[in-house]
Structures are given as C-alpha cells and as structure tokens.
Amino acid sequence: MAKIWDKGYDANKLVEDFTVGNDRVLDLRLAKHDIIGSMAHIKMLVSIGLLEEKEEETLQTELHNILTTVEKGEFHLDDDAEDIHSQVEALLIDRLGEMGKKIHSGRSRNDQVLVDIKLFLKEEILKFKEEVLQLFTQLQLLSEQHKNVLLPGYTHAQIAMPSSFGLWFGAYAEILVDDMHTLATAWKVADQNPLGSAAGYGSSFPLDREMTTQQLGFATMSYNVIAAQMGRGKTERILAQSMANIASTLNKLATDNCMYLSGNFGFISYPKELTTGSSIMPHKKNPDVWELIRAHSNRLQSLPNEITLMTTNMSHGYHRDYQLLKEVLFPAIETLHTLLNMAHFMLQHVIVNEDILSDPRYEYLFTVEEVNRRVLQGIPFREAYQQVGKEVQDGTFHSEKQVHHSHAGSIGNLCTEKIRLKMEHASEPIQ
C-alpha cells in the first residue's frame, strides 16, 4: 500500500517501525470517528465544488460500508497500512479507483487525527458521565437507606465525633459533583471542531468549516487554525486532569472500604464471593477489589503529569511527540471505565454494621455532644469544655450516644435532594 506521503522512496525499515510504534493498534479505536469525519468532509467538498454530487453519493455509500465493518468488529488494518487514515483511503481507492483519492483534498493527517481524537474523547466523556451518575445514584441511595446508622468520625486517625453512614455515603456522592464539573470542562474543550486547520496553517481551498462543525455535532470550532493544532495535547491533558480527579475520589473511597472492612473496624462487610482468600490463612476475606481500585486510581492520578511532561518544550505546530499521547491516554480511559463500574458493582452489595457504637471504645465519641448540650443549658462553652474534659480524665464521663444535628448537611439533614440537583446542573453541559 502506497503511503499518503509517498514521494517515490521508502523510509528505512528500522526508522519506519520506530516512528509508527503502537499507532496501528491504537488507531483501531478511532476507526469509526475517522470514517464519520470523512463523511462530513466530503459533503462539504460538494458544497464548494470540489466533488460532484454523484461522486459524494458513491463515496458515502462506500464509507458507510466500511463503517458497518467497524461496528461489526470486522475492520482491521492491513499489514502495510501506516494508520487508520491511510487504511480508509486505500480501501476507497481499491474499491472506487481515482475517486477514492479525492477525499483528502483540503485535509492533512494533522487535522484528521485531531477530529478523530476529539470525537473519540467526546464519546468517552459521555460514557464517564453515565458511569459517574450511576455511582452517584447508588451512593445517594445508600446514604438515605442508612442515614440513621451512626459510626465514628475520625480526625488524625483518632476517634473524634459521631458520623453516620448517611454522611459517609452522601459525602462521596457530593464530591462526585465536583468531579463532574471538571469533566464538563473537558467536554467543552473537546467540543470544538479542528477540521479545516489542515497542517496547522489552513488551506487555499474555500473550506466551509461552519458546515463540518454542524455536520460533526460540535458546539463550535477552533477558529484560528494554529490554535486548532495547539489544542493537541492540551485537550488530552485537561481530560486527564478530570480523570485524575475522579480517580482521587475512587482512591479515597477504596481506602475507606479497605479500612472499614478490616477486623479492627468491622463497620461494613461484603458477601464472601466478592472477597478473596489466603493461601495459608483459612479465615481470610481480603478486599482485593478495593485494593486494586485504590492502586489503579493512584496510577491514574499520575496521568496529567505524564502528559504535561510529554508535551512540554515543543514550539507551536505539529510534532511527532503527540503520537505517544494515545499510548498513555487510551489505556487509562479503559481503566477508569472499569474502576467506576467495579465501584458501583461492589457498593450494590455492601452490608452495613448497624451496631457499631455499642462497643465501649466509642464512649468518648460524644464528648462534643455533651459540651454542646451544657452550653445550650447556659454554661459558657469554655467552662463546659473543661467540665467534660475533667470527667474524661477521671473516667466518669458517660453519654447518651445520641445526636441532635439539624443544620444543612449534618447527620440529621443530609440535603440529598439539593445535592442531586447540584449534580443535575453539573452534568448538563455534557450532552
């Protein structure tokens, strides 16, 4: 297969293998988007007189046929195909002859891959949105279901004040709202059409970029053709930061689960089939799923830094360095999808211990409650604090182990519906 850039000589085989790298495998994920981009492009070429309507009809039919093979999982790159762009064009040329060569007019592989990646990232962001919403809904359900079950709250890893499963589950639900805001930002950055920027300096053809923007479903375009190319790397980095934010939430959720599952806490449990055993200790029920979620989440949090360093010290315009972005970002995207789905699956089966505070070790959990009760009776706060402190030191402190919190966001007023509305608003831009 002749290469798109063929000028009558071949590159050194060692150089060619090195520069192509893993692109052929990764490009298969972009196949659908590359074909969709070509469909919009040739429709625009007709509008500016570079293609006949009959030619476009024939090309559209053949592109649709290729797209069908992609959707069936039957599409592949030939051994001599350099990338997805050359494969699609070669198939058209093989089936339609000279007509197939016309689809590249007004395009460069630079803006082709930019379009492919932006369409791909938009699709993945939509999936992240649904997965985050799924986890959010599960957490809110658990929050309401167990809102009256108390558990210890900790500061400095020491027993501090009363908390509840309503607060704990609800906290992770609300923090996902912040993660959704950053995901929406990544969406807005990806939702800009770069097609028509060509190699980064536009084209002498009278391209109708507004038309392709509408055809491809972008909200707007990257107007300045240099700016469009400068978006390569930045778009990926912004999404990577959003993914890292979600991973940070999953990491903390996983850590809490591992801790609460341990015998020294015993706050929650899971069905035995969702845990793993030990090769020598027959009693073990290990939280391997949550431990792996925690570890994978840590790796994902390094992704923005890796992309930042990969795209540093390059002048504007295209550089081959950008090719490596797919090698780190695409697998990370798959990993995060898996983590979100596994976290949701596990939480569907969590079992809450409803009798945690009967253990006498949690007696001092209610010292602040007692101080506040005395203040409400008219005793100055500092004096009430000293009274309770002395009782603790003397071993005479006892409490009712009851809470009377009513302010917004507290144990007795979780504001679940208000948080749901926050999430609804945060996720609206992603559509």
pLDDT digits (tens, 9 = 90+) for 335-390: 999 999 999 999 999 999 999 998 988 989 999 998 999 999 999 999 999 999 99
CATH number of domain containing 70 = 1.10.275.10
pLDDT band at residue 400, thresholds of 50, 70 and 90? confident
Residue 273 DSSP symbol: G
CA angle 16, 19, 22 (to 5 degrees): 105
How many helices (H) and strands (E) in the chain?
Answer: 15, 6
Which residue do the tokens 């002859």 mark?
A: 97
Question: Average pLDDT, stretch 55-84?
Answer: 91
CATH number of domain containing 286 = 1.20.200.10
122/100 same-domain check: no
Question: Average pLDDT, stretch 319-347?
Answer: 94
pLDDT > 90: what percent of the chain?
A: 77
276/385 same-domain check: no
Helices marked H in 146-224 = 165-190, 209-215
Residue 415 DSSP symbol: -
Task: Give the bridge partners for 46, in sequence order.
Answer: none
Buried b (16+ CB within 10 A) or exposed e, 203-235: bebebbbebbbebbebeebbeebeebbbbbbeb
Buried b (16+ CB within 10 A) or exposed e, 65-96: ebbeebeeeebebeeebbbbbbbbbbbbbeeb
| Beta strands 150-155 and 268-269, pairing class | unpaired
Count structural domains, the chain.
3
Half-sphere exposure of 22 (CA within 13 A, CB side): 11
Question: Average pLDDT, stretch 289-297?
Answer: 96
In a domain, 2, yes or no: no
39/61 same-domain check: yes
Question: Average pLDDT, stretch 249-253?
Answer: 98
96/136 same-domain check: no
Measured CA to CA, the distance from residue 62 to residue 52 in angstroms comes to 15
Which residue do the tokens 């799924």 mark?
A: 134
pLDDT > 70: what percent of the chain?
A: 93
In a domain, 308, yes or no: yes
In a domain, 252, yes or no: yes
In a domain, 213, yes or no: no
Instruction: Check residue 213 and give its pLDDT.
Output: 98
pLDDT band at residue 109, thresholds of 50, 70 and 90? confident
pLDDT beyond 60 at 1: no
Instruction: Check residue 39 and give its pLDDT.
Output: 97
305/377 same-domain check: no
Question: Average pLDDT, stretch 273-302?
Answer: 82
368/337 same-domain check: no
pLDDT band at residue 26, thresholds of 50, 70 and 90? confident
pLDDT beyond 80 at 20: no
In a domain, 203, yes or no: no
Residue 75 DSSP symbol: -
Question: Average pLDDT, stretch 225-233?
Answer: 93
pLDDT beyond 90 at 3: no
CA angle 78, 82, 83 (to 5 degrees): 90
165/285 same-domain check: yes
pLDDT beyond 50 at 244: yes
Please answer whether residues 296 and 248 qualify as being in contact, where contact means their C-beta atoms are separated by less than 8 angstroms.
no
Among 45, 73, 105, give the residue marking a domain's end.
Answer: 105
In a domain, 207, yes or no: no
Q: Which amino acid, 171?
A: A
88/134 same-domain check: no
Taking all residues of the chain, what is their mean pLDDT, rounded to a whole number?
91
Among 76, 105, 134, give the residue marking a domain's end.
Answer: 105
284/152 same-domain check: yes
In a domain, 353, yes or no: yes
Instruction: Check residue 16 and give its pLDDT.
Output: 55
Instruction: Check residue 4 and give its pLDDT.
Output: 47
pLDDT beyond 90 at 27: no
Q: Whole domain around residue 239: which residue ranges?
A: 110-197+218-358+406-427
Among 105, 129, 148, give the residue marking a domain's end.
Answer: 105
Question: Average pLDDT, stretch 54-72?
Answer: 95
> Reduced to 3 states, what is the DSSP secondary structure of residue 2?
coil
Nearest to 365 by CA among 164, 155, 159: 159
Please answer whether residues 301 and 246 qualify as being in contact, where contact means their C-beta atoms are separated by less than 8 angstroms.
no
In a domain, 4, yes or no: no
> Reduced to 3 states, what is the DSSP secondary structure of residue 269?
strand
Q: Which amino acid, 417?
A: E
82/146 same-domain check: no
Question: And the tokens for 272?
Answer: 């035995």
Instruction: Check residue 2 and give its pLDDT.
Output: 47
101/116 same-domain check: no
Question: Average pLDDT, stretch 180-204?
Answer: 96
169/315 same-domain check: yes
Instruction: Check residue 181 and give its pLDDT.
Output: 98
Question: Average pLDDT, stretch 29-36?
Answer: 94
pLDDT beyond 70 at 235: yes
